[in-house]
Structure 1
Amino acid sequence: MATATPPTFTELNEHLTEVLSNPSTSILNVRLLETFTAQLPEQPTTHLTGTLVPLLAKVLAVVNEDPTPITTLLQHLLTTTTFTELLAFASQPQTLQLLSAASPAVRILGLSILEKAAAAPSEVGIVASWSDVVQKLVEVLLCDSDTGVASRAADVLVKLLAADLGVGLLWRRIFEDEGVYGTFFRLCSWKGEELPEGKKAKTEAQGRLLQVVARMAALDFSAVSTSAFPAIDKKYAASEEACGGLLEFAARWAVDADGDVMMHMVLLDFYTLLLQSTKALDYLETSGLHGATAGRYIAPAAYSDDIIDQQLLESKAAEYLATYARLHPTKLFDSPAPKIPDGRNPKRRRMSLGTGPPPPAKTLIDVTLERIEQTLKDTPQHPHTPSMDILMAMPPSVLVTDLAKKVVAMIPLSPPQTAYIDALTAVITKQGSSSEVYDNYYATHTDMWQKINSYVSTLALRDVVLACMNFIEKLLVAQDSTGTYWGAKEIVNAPNVMAFLITPPQRFSGARDPMSTAFVVATRKLEVLETVLRVLGRAGDEVPGAEGWKVVVQERLKVGLWGNGAGGEVATMEM
């Protein structure tokens, strides 16, 4: 057990004093530093911190070797020290020096010190008064060559801003200090200054900008969507009318979306992050970014001639739509269909010039379901993953519409595809939904259970077997809005499903190996049986024959994974 004063304290103190006296010739005793760090108590005493922290800080400033052992020890010593208490050796110029150091370990130390200020708004206020430190913090999070340091800087800034909500000193420093505010534009815009590492550094800065702006928008949308310096906004934007603040810059002008498909994908990820906020969604809709993003899934060929670009951006647009469906289900029926560019599609252009009454206005949900329907028609044997992701995100209110039920009914079960089985599982067993989607699918695929029984008995199709098991289990626990276990009734009545579940699995050579397919499937089968017993106990009279099945399942569970019979094992041994 660590003592209050580690036994190597005196030796370390003397060693550090020697290094400080002769920095050019002395060599750090790394082993001594690591040993002392390991001996530290969980809460270092005031004596230890008061003696060693000033000494270590001085050594850190003169040492020419890797400073990581020193910074690690310092962070341990400062565990319980407040930001205010650190000001004696981590003042404004010293903190700036730490953030500007060549060593990533030293920069991390500087960030750790700043992070302590998040403990109290008054301490955040001290940081806010250090304009050059705040500007350096922004530079580090955008342009540090070490990804870990940049990520930590972003975390520290967001943590400080969260602690400053309601007071606003740091928010004002960032958004009302021209030098700090302009740093985001200067370092991220292609119109800004060139960075030492060229295009790579610029695109990395842009990606980091998008991440931190999304996090700031979640804290205070108004701050990121307005500007105290419209001249800066206009200088770095492609439009003279752009005065929408840092959000507008990040969402529309920072990234060269047309010239860099990878950065375009990052930009679409940014839009998806913004969906967490209703205000941000309003911005995306009014700016046209919502429709343009949805359009890249609805009609990918209308936005690009490159098939690879189409597929990459379609996938990200699908993630956006799936997130939109999950987070804002009530808006699905109100959101209009996006306007699709006609320029790359002569057929569409000719049709748009026709006469006669315009077709009825469609909603976003209409055209999205039509696109999913088309992918199922085009490639029924090869699941279109983006489309299945969107379909699985649809709320019950959408899935019970005629068009949605038609689309779901098109999902094939043959040949077996885990993506299709997973999609069926998600749409049929939505929490609180009725059996309507299931009933419609079963009416169309009357051989559904025959196929599932065939698949779960084919160990060579390991992933398919497990997907089918998951389907059975999810259906077992499916309840409607009244709490009725409608799915359990279907499982009990489904042909041969219960017989399969209660039949002990056949054992093969190597079946006891936890990694073998036989073992994994047998274990999953037993888990599903446990779910059966639990649900039947809750459902009661809702499921005809529940009491009888409970007895059968209990008896099966008593005999364990492989059952009582040894025939399979003996046969294997005799082979």
Structure 2
Amino acid sequence: MAVPKSYDEVKAHLQHVLDDPSTPLDIPLIDKLKLELTETTDRRVPGTLLTLISQLLPVLQEDPTPITTLGIKATTYFSFTDIRSVEPPIDFIAGFKAPSPPVNLLTLTLLRKAGGIPSDAAIVAGDPELVASLVELWLTTTSTAVAQAAFDALWALLEVDLASPLENETHTHEAEDSTGGQGLFWRRVFTDKNVYGRLFSLCSLTNSEPGARPLRERTVAQGRLMGFLVKAGHLRWDLISTSQIPEIEAKYDSSSILHFAACRMVDKSDFLMHMTLLNFFRDLLDIEAPGLRARVYVQSASTFSSPALDFLISHDLHGNVLDLYLDETKLDPVDLQYVRGPIMAYIAQYAELYPNHLLQNPSSLLDRIISRISGSLAISSSQWAHGHVPAGQLVILSSLPRVLLVEAAKHGANPLFAVPTSPPCREALDALAKILHGPKKLDMSDSMELNTSGQIPTDWHKEAAAARVLYFMYLNDHPNFWTDIVAAADILAMKDVSLAAISFMKAVITANWQVLSGEVISPVPDTSRYQLPSEEALGTLSPAAQGLLPSSGVWAILTPPALTILLPYLFKPPRSYSEFVGGGAGDSQNIVWKVATAKYEVLVSLYKNLKETGGRVTGFEDILRTLRQRVSEGPWGPVAQNTARVETQLWTSIRSAVRPANMSRFAAKKGRKLPGTEFTWEAGADPAGEADTAPTPLFPRYNLPRARLLNPREQKQVDLYRALRDRFHDGPYYSVLQSSSVTARKDEATRAHFDPFHGMPTYSGKYQKQKRDRPELKGRPYVMKFFPRHLWKTIQPNFNPSVAMDGYVPHGPRIGVKRGFEDEEEEEEVEDTKRRKGVDEDEDAERAEREEDGDVLDPDEDQEEEIIDNDFEDDDDEMGGDYNAEQYFDAGEDEYGENDGFADGGGGGGDEDTY
């Protein structure tokens, strides 16, 4: 046994703090010792530390968390016997009553070690004050961590002290796993007045004794007590449901602790506590629920009930919840928003765990439940896609007995048909998957068949057969639902929907179905309801002339329409990160990987189930071989070059193995054909055994070539080159081609870079100021002596090299001499202005002369009238009176003299037009 290196230092430090409580704790030193404590540590070290800590806690003047966690770490490998041997003894009661959560947690950790063996639990049960303090701490503490630790300690003691079932008059199935305890701790809790009375007094709202807890703390204690009763009921239902101390129970007007909690304790006007109470009822239903099987021992009124359900029915609690579900007007609208969810959860739990009890209710009640569900599902497609989805009703629908849904379909009231697959909805897909998958496989080790004599409405075999019937009914009513499922599975942007669709595929492949044999469809005595159709009657739903309906889910996948829709999707390579923005770098939840692995699990399930059911069928070796190859390639699938080959091998294997004699093309409504019915699977037409109309893989995927990543040296070279190029482009002497010159060139490479949105000239564009795309070299100052002489005329055509020796042009204004950097375009503008001015002067003189002669009509206006008249005359003569818009507008060239298809080709007037 080793002693930690820092043990002596920590011991001295704690002793110093004990002598002088104002000394602060050395937290780093304490943390160091925690790391050094191991299983091989000397046993005297934890005992000494625990003694120092117990002495230090009452006088410590700061947060005790560092030393309480040290005590928990030091006693990790201690047993309850080791803790009891510490001197002086540990005062558990003082630790429970200490107003410090860290101290409470340390004490509870030490006491919980007594839950290891029954003898230690019996020692604790012998101290009634200790047990009462534990119960009081659990129900009254305001710390959630302390309350959970207290419950864990209490439950560990109860669990290890559970007596053998042979010692009890009544027992539950869970009680068979007892550890051979004496039951002393159970008797201490439920038969000791001081302990049992605290369960009532600390949770009752009518307790007006001095020192009673505030109302808020008592409601918190009520929730803790209800959770405790559910767990205790699984082990000892008799102790919580029968009277233990009548004197205490009568004080609170109850017959047992369970009756007190369910009927007397909670104020239902507090909607939060009403929600907690409804959840408590739902949890009680899980105690000894029969489901689709019956226990070899029966403690309830019938084989398909339970003591918990009998208790709820006897106190009219079950009927009240049913009434609240069927008629929500009995609740306040505000409270309804909070309790609607727990009410639906209770109904779903009851329907799933007690199917035969539900089916024995009056038909009027069952019809109201079906009508309630159907009314909630009758919503628009937009609400299914974007609105509030009736998730609670879908859970109830998926929990109902399947024979009840088949019976409702006979009257045209099956709410299953109202569940859509498009638009995709996660809740709807989950409900469909649960219904069509069939019942869970039973573990018959401790149960017996319910329907051995055919005396009850449903059992596992009937539910399995009903699931198969509902699949074909739903497929008949929704012929495109496999197309919708595959489309939903490929929507990676909606992760929940995609995963739900893939889970639906797996649910059908692994479905627990059964053929409609004579025993399954036998009528139930004393009723004509819940009788399943025969195999022949079910076959009439299919338009196929011959062939049997698939008997299992995996065979349904190999039957159209799933064959031609689902299988290509499963063999298609999964989506890759490169298909998303940033290459999937922002995919924090690994959506692509989750969908790929879920899809791969479906393929694995298909392979395993087909191997079990089709391994003995001749011709399916090739299909299994192809599936095995795909499964061996992992979630990411085959390489691109092998994708088409694998799919082709699969289709060839299916065509060679499947024949119409043993496969039915289950199709849609009468007169319709489902996808895939146009394919023929006969190989006689082709000598090679290939059907001409068989589906073939189109556009197989392939890996795009990708350039390798640059090494650091190459990356640096690229960065330097790009920086140099940017400096060139941003410099004052970098020239780019003008857009007009680009469009003027007719070659294909040039037009490929043409911008059709902003580069196309418009009619009004000629009046807009043109933006110069090229830098104006002439408008910049230059020191000419730094340039070669033969470039001087190019840079400044008007430069006079003889005016100065240094190359500068004189800056003083000179009459008649232009500056060297003036643009020649300005000279052209001056010439145009002069010519225009002369024309205007001549026109003014001519106009004055006409006014003297009395002719006020402008010659241009007269001429324009003649042009218009001539246009119409020509139009009438040549076109026979039809209006010719092209001839009406002049087709002259634009002001740039270009008419190459991109410039303004006609219409309107010239530059003289005004607006």
TM-score w.r.t. length of structure 2 = 0.54
Is 1:528–2:581 an aligned residue pair?
no
* Partner in structure 2 of residue 20 of structure 1: 18
Q: Give the paired residue count.
A: 537
Taking structure 1 as reference, are residues 457 and 176 closer, same or farther at Cα in structure 2, changes over 3 Å only?
A: closer
Residue type of the alignment partner of 2:328: P
- In structure 2, which of residues 554, 565, 590 is the aligned counterpart of residue 488 of structure 1? 554
Q: In the TM superposition, what are the counterparts of 1:367-378 in structure 2 within 5 Å?
A: 367-377=368-378
Question: 2: distance between equivalents of 1:70 and 1:85?
Answer: 19
Residue type of the alignment partner of 2:604: E
* Partner in structure 1 of residue 54 of structure 2: 57
Contact 1:206 1:254 in 2 (8 A): yes
SS state at 2:558 partner: helix
Q: In the TM superposition, what are the counterparts of 1:60-459 in structure 2 within 5 Å?
A: 60-89=57-86, 94-166=91-163, 167-193=182-208, 198-236=214-252, 242-257=253-268, 259-277=269-287, 278-301=306-329, 303-306=330-333, 308-334=334-360, 336=361, 361-362=362-363, 365-377=366-378, 381-382=383-384, 383-402=389-408, 406-431=414-439, 433-434=464-465, 435-459=468-492
Question: 2: distance between equivalents of 1:567 and 1:125?
Answer: 70
SS state at 2:414 partner: helix
Offset of 1:471 from its aligned partner? 1.4
Offset of 1:173 from its aligned partner? 2.5
Question: 2: distance between equivalents of 1:249 and 1:362?
Answer: 34
Contact 1:475 1:488 in 2 (8 A): yes
Residue type of the alignment partner of 1:271: F
Taking structure 1 as reference, are residues 447 and 52 closer, same or farther at Cα in structure 2, changes over 3 Å only?
A: closer
Offset of 1:385 from its aligned partner? 0.9
Question: 2: distance between equivalents of 1:485 and 1:6?
Answer: 68
Higher CA-based Rg: 2
Question: 2: distance between equivalents of 1:288 and 1:531?
Answer: 46
What is the root-mean-square deviation of aligned Cα atoms in Å? 3.2
Question: 1: distance between equivalents of 2:499 and 2:82?
Answer: 57
With CA pairs under 8 Å and 6+ residues apart, which has the higher RCO, 1 or 2? Answer: 1
Q: Percent identity?
A: 32
Question: 2: distance between equivalents of 1:392 and 1:423?
Answer: 5
Residue type of the alignment partner of 2:45: L
Question: 1: distance between equivalents of 2:247 and 2:201?
Answer: 13
* Partner in structure 1 of residue 506 of structure 2: 473
Contact 1:522 1:562 in 2 (8 A): no
Question: 2: distance between equivalents of 1:453 and 1:130?
Answer: 65
Residue type of the alignment partner of 1:281: L
Contact 1:506 1:568 in 2 (8 A): no
Question: 1: distance between equivalents of 2:14 and 2:610?
Answer: 70
Question: 1: distance between equivalents of 2:87 and 2:143?
Answer: 23
Contact 1:505 1:562 in 2 (8 A): no
Taking structure 1 as reference, are residues 363 and 65 closer, same or farther at Cα in structure 2, changes over 3 Å only?
A: farther
Taking structure 1 as reference, are residues 458 and 227 closer, same or farther at Cα in structure 2, changes over 3 Å only?
A: closer
Is 1:564–2:640 an aligned residue pair?
yes
- Higher percent of residues as helix: 1
Contact 1:4 1:41 in 2 (8 A): no
* Partner in structure 1 of residue 566 of structure 2: 497
Contact 2:4 2:36 in 1 (8 A): yes
Question: 2: distance between equivalents of 1:128 and 1:459?
Answer: 58
**CA deviation map 1:162-194 (0-9, x unaligned):** 222223332333223323222222221111258
Taking structure 1 as reference, are residues 275 and 506 closer, same or farther at Cα in structure 2, changes over 3 Å only?
A: closer
Unaligned runs of 5+ in 2: 164-181, 288-305, 442-463, 516-549, 642-699, 708-915
Contact 1:399 1:427 in 2 (8 A): no
TM-score w.r.t. length of structure 1 = 0.84
Question: 2: distance between equivalents of 1:298 and 1:92?
Answer: 61
Question: 2: distance between equivalents of 1:555 and 1:228?
Answer: 66
* Partner in structure 1 of residue 739 of structure 2: none
Contact 1:536 1:543 in 2 (8 A): no
Offset of 1:123 from its aligned partner? 2.5
SS state at 1:496 partner: helix
Question: 2: distance between equivalents of 1:545 and 1:78?
Answer: 66
Offset of 1:81 from its aligned partner? 2.8
Question: 2: distance between equivalents of 1:45 and 1:253?
Answer: 54
SS state at 1:142 partner: helix
**CA deviation map 1:379-427 (0-9, x unaligned):** 6744311111122233555454445982222222232222111111110
Unaligned runs of 5+ in 1: 237-241, 337-360
**CA deviation map 1:494-539 (0-9, x unaligned):** 2322122223356524555565655544444344333333332222
Residue type of the alignment partner of 1:96: I
**CA deviation map 1:123-163 (0-9, x unaligned):** 32332232222222112111101011011111211221222
* Partner in structure 1 of residue 740 of structure 2: none
Question: 2: distance between equivalents of 1:5 and 1:521?
Answer: 53
Q: Which piece of structure 1 moves more, 446-455 or 411-420?
A: 446-455
Residue type of the alignment partner of 2:353: L
Contact 1:453 1:496 in 2 (8 A): yes
Question: 1: distance between equivalents of 2:583 and 2:555?
Answer: 33
**CA deviation map 1:174-229 (0-9, x unaligned):** 22332322222222111125878833322211111211122222222222223344
* Partner in structure 2 of residue 340 of structure 1: none
Taking structure 1 as reference, are residues 180 and 453 closer, same or farther at Cα in structure 2, changes over 3 Å only?
A: closer
Question: 1: distance between equivalents of 2:49 and 2:153?
Answer: 26
**CA deviation map 1:49-99 (0-9, x unaligned):** 343322222122322222222222222232333324423559998111000
Q: Which piece of structure 1 moves more, 191-200 or 488-497?
A: 191-200
Q: Which piece of structure 1 moves more, 556-565 or 177-186?
A: 556-565
Question: 2: distance between equivalents of 1:525 and 1:119?
Answer: 45
Q: Which piece of structure 1 moves more, 502-511 or 316-325?
A: 502-511
Taking structure 1 as reference, are residues 221 and 168 closer, same or farther at Cα in structure 2, changes over 3 Å only?
A: same
